[in-house]
Structure 1
């Protein structure tokens, strides 16, 4: 959290006075730091309204805006005739000055080539540089992802080596690698293939890369039939295996296809301080390129999408007629107008709600979640995606990386306890689990019990001096119960000054998770599979934990009643006996001498316990 000095606060007030004098006119505003560096560039439909917001109350500002405002020394502005002209000017200035607090994308879309090394045993690889090394280069190609993927597939299908061994120098040295045993390499290192056969495989792989799957299958089928006619069944079988591998590849490619001939699909996933954005590019109904970006999550998703689209298509010459996106975009009308002018044809945004397009967006989001999970070294992509979907479903201000859940357990008001579990990054954090004995509530009052538990938990938060355990504020609280529980807890948190979202988890008649509830109604989750699985796991786990603690307390109470009913045995000696012997049965089978040796026991007490379990009137108890 940014802490402002009195001098800085006074300076911000002066900036607000200047902002209030700006015209209600479209334009671009430019924020400068003390050393005259441009740190942020933005556009506005009405300059006065937009710029003055920065220097007013910071309660509605996110951390990025607070940091930016704290570093502003002065601002300047440029008037334009329309918001559209402001967008074009903003894009141009951002590319020119690269301000610190704007979303900045690195354009690494250089050309890619397929490299075929010289010599008797050529290798095929993907590269971005053409060197004067005697190798043959095929290209250029725009999509590095497509070429890399195609080269890898060609090597697998035609069983070409991907290792660093040199041929023919290393033929016959060492054992073949794993790829040979899983039939993805012909193992020239072991001399299992002749130079002629190897070069034929390389040529077929190049034909596959140049001509695509259909041409390769047709050519290979002719070669297979010719080999069979010549009774060269070993060669025919090898070619047959290659055709089978190509056909399997074609089946996988059908999965990632679109009925819209040309479009881009864009999806983002928020995770803590980072946002992962994935772009799928389709042409001819097939995926031909994929790009991944990891940026700072310093703004609302709508604004992140808006800035990303402007930056991304500023660096791309090819703009499709349809941009399918996973959520709302700020200034979508102005952006569509800008994209249309740049592409010289109509361009529109599309937010699908169902069907094939919705599935493509979900697949894009899944890949964005996986990229985020790998980059941050946290949960899996599935868990990251589920947390982001939960954020969207509940309209949370941030991704709920740290979730606390509570459940009350008792039997007709007896042995009243509560359990608290924690899910961090979509997984149980068992070291943070806590148990509560209800102290102030008598009888069966689940709402009162829940209020006691929540009050005690956040009193511990106030008293903590480290941001760990109770000293850490959760991103979300889920209560095992309906809107009554939520209605009982939200006022308490407001009273304590704790700003944490609270929702309930509702079960159906068969005790299965049905929905998430707030004090105003229910939010269905069955249609959102990832969220449903996550919330169900949380509800099942908190119920298991709470009821397990309740049973433990009931068992202790039963044992305590049995032992304390013996004359001379109070709570202290009962606990000492259970600690020493573990079970009631072990106590009942112990000799007087063994009982007397227990810490805290003496001869009369040991005799009383022994007689209790061995007298005729207690025989069989």
Structure 2
């Protein structure tokens, strides 16, 4: 079907809730969606197609036909949508691939065995514990067992590497028994490994009791060195066990879910807390094809239709469009009431931030960029309601000295870092008096005009993802209409300072958003505001200084404005000009002999 035929067909749909199924020219299902009113939702796909988001545009371009199913309620539509997505795995829906598989704890063979996490069981003579469905639990168990019983976590091989190198830092901070030093016998090492395996298979409580009995026995037999060694293991295990025992006080089963964007990717992390302890982690890398709240909405609905272990509470960082429907779905599948919560403070907010930190780390690991940069841009996007993290940010500040030397500085931050090659400076030319709003408007008009005219200069050729003005809502109100008049869709916000000239908030259109709860974004905005202020004021001072120097030079007979500017360009300072011989003034300063003599005599009292 053509686009017009699809549009006509969509107008025949009922104003009822239901599910629509988009198909390509081969009849393959490429997208499944739900709607409160089928006619309105489906017809919207085939109207103003060019204005759709990239994901939606691509999907519409491949639609050849569609089917629909009317339901009794929007909730039934949600349930049916999730079922059909699971059945067809459409290309343009979020696909949650269960990559967990089976995981094992591996104990290598030989006199000096090692405990490792393994993704599969192979016939290599090793002993395997498992299978486990969670790689998180396997990795955590191995790490905790090694820490508790001071087993080496390095890549050294024993006994080959015993005595070959000095022990590493872990040995000196008492996190490793130091097998490489040669002070640990094979029998002692094997005993420690056996205890670690018992810790993994039976838990800490039984091992603690066994160690306490063993330490008591050694003490009664006056074997104090052995008793001390057991005591050290016991204390290490007790400290570790206490630290891992409770993550938070509530015993309610809950999941914390957060999303991070960066480098064209979306990472969603689910942290599962059961009986007050972190029990598992799920991580998904999804296509970046929409607003964070929409992506999270689709993810949560899909995720809980494929899971059997359902929590009572789901902690989220963003409000979901279908929150009531998903709560109903989760409650019915669970058999008791379940809630989707947006914590604002306390322990539950800390758990959501933990999930968010893990999501940022997931993006950072895959993109090999610092997590702080990804977090800063992602937080800023969420704070300002942007669909994507702003990769290219321009910031502007006005600086003036009275009514003279009015300038505007423009700095650029690319991927969260200063991009100095694109910095620009503007002399304010048309504004009379001290009018920061008009000065800002003049500078932005000149900058955006050069963008519209296709200026090849890198600093003018790039359309910014975000403009930040050093000022409050007055600056924003002056510049936003200008951007709209020029036919550009660039978000514009202000950076507000407190009485001590420190960054305090982001100015919206008539309101402000505090930055205190967004640490990474706060640090980035503060850095941008400090940098644009430094750049603008340094330019203004330079102009003022050059003007003062030029005034002194023009007092010399034979030196006018042009020659004064020539000298300031050729020499670093007035002092350097004053010390220059006549020939140097002629050669470097391009002065005739008479003017060079006048300059020399002026500074040397002749």
Q: Which residue of 1 aligns with 2:550?
A: 560
For residues 314 and 578 of structure 1, the distance between their equivalents in structure 2, rounded to whole angstroms, comes to 73
**Cα distance change on mapping 1:244 and 1:578 into 2, 3 Å:** farther
Give 1:585's aligned residue: 575
Please name the residue that 1:6 is paired with.
Answer: none
Write the deviation string for residues 463-493 of structure 1: whole angstroms up to 9, x where unpaired.
Answer: 3366953222112211112222122111211
1:257 to 2:248 alignment: yes
1:205 to 196, 200, 224: 196
Contact 1:367/1:381 (<8 A) preserved: no
- Cα offset for 1:403? 1.7
Structure 1 residues 436 and 218: CA distance shift in structure 2, 3 A: farther
Cα drift, residue 267 of structure 1 = 1.0
Deviations 1:177-227 (A, max 9, x none): 635555544454564321210110001111222343444334333333433
- Using structure 2 for the length normalisation, give the TM-score: 0.92
Separation in structure 1 between the aligned mates of residue 584 and residue 532 of structure 2, nearest angstrom: 41
The answer for the alignment partner of 1:243 in structure 2 is: 234
Instruction: Please show how residues 114-513 of structure 1 align to structure 2 within 5 Å.
Output: 114-162=105-153, 167-168=158-159, 170=160, 172=162, 174-175=164-165, 178=168, 180=171, 183-188=174-179, 191-250=182-241, 252-253=243-244, 256-271=247-262, 273-378=264-369, 380-464=370-454, 468-513=458-503
* Mean Cα deviation higher: 410-419 or 587-596: 587-596
Q: 2:149·2:237 contact (CA, 8 Å) conserved in 1?
A: no
Aligned counterpart for 2:522 among listed residues 503, 528, 532: 532
When residues 117 and 532 of structure 1 are mapped into structure 2, their CA distance, relative to the original with a 3 A threshold, is closer
Aligned to 1:5: none
Residues 601 and 87 of structure 1, relative CA distance in 2, 3 Å threshold: same
1:569 aligns with 2:544: no
In structure 2, stretches of 5+ residues that fail to align are: none
Q: SS where residue 28 of structure 1 aligns?
A: strand
- Answer whether contact 1:143 1:288 (CA < 8 A) is retained: no
1:434 Cα deviation from its structure 2 partner = 1.6
Q: Which moved more, 1:293-302 or 1:450-459?
A: 293-302
Q: Aligned-pair distance for 1:163?
A: 5.2
Deviates more, 1:177-186 or 1:25-34: 177-186
Specify every segment of 5 or more residues in structure 1 that has no aligned partner in the other structure, as ranges: 1-9, 617-621
Cα distance, 1:13 vs structure 2: 2.1
Cα RMSD for the two superposed structures:
2.6
1:614 matched to which residue of 2? 604
What is the aligned counterpart of 1:56 among 47, 65, 79? 47
Aligned residue for 2:365, secondary structure, equals helix
CA distance in 1, matches of 2:161, 2:512: 69
The Cα of 1:18 is off from its aligned counterpart by 0.1
How far apart are 1:520 and its partner, in Å? 1.6
Q: Distance in 2 between matches of 1:79 and 1:497?
A: 41
Separation (CA, whole Å) in 1 of partners of 2:103 and 2:516: 45
1:299 match: secondary structure: coil
TM-score by length of 1: 0.90
Distance 1:520 1:399 in 2: 23
Q: Which of 564, 588, 596 is 1:598 aligned to?
A: 588
The runs of at least 4 aligned residues of structure 1 exceeding 6 Å deviation read: none
Give, in angstroms, the shift of residue 32 of structure 1: 1.2
Deviation digits for residues 397-427 of structure 1 (CA, Å, limit 9, x no counterpart): 3322322110011100211111111223333
1:404, 1:581 → 2: CA distance? Answer: 33
Counterpart-to-counterpart distance in 2, 1:82 and 1:530: 42
Cα separation, 1, equivalents of 2:561 and 2:321: 67
Change (3 A) 1:171 1:516: closer
Distance 2:558 2:358 in 1: 68
Deviation of the 1:248 alpha carbon: 4.1
Q: Structure 1 416/22 Cα, relative in aligned 2: closer, same or farther at 3 Å?
A: same
- Asked if 2 retains the 8 angstrom alpha-carbon contact of 1:258 and 1:282, the reply is no
Higher mean displacement: 585-594 or 186-195:
186-195
Partner residue in 2 for 1:3:
none
Q: 1:570 to 1:212 in 2, by over 3 A?
A: farther
Q: Cα deviation per residue 1:269-305 (whole Å; 9 max; x = unaligned)?
A: 2336322211110111110111221211212333212
Shift of 1:546: 0.7
Instruction: Output the CA distance in 2 between the equivalents of 1:74 and 1:30.
Output: 9
How much has 1:104 moved relative to structure 2?
A: 0.6
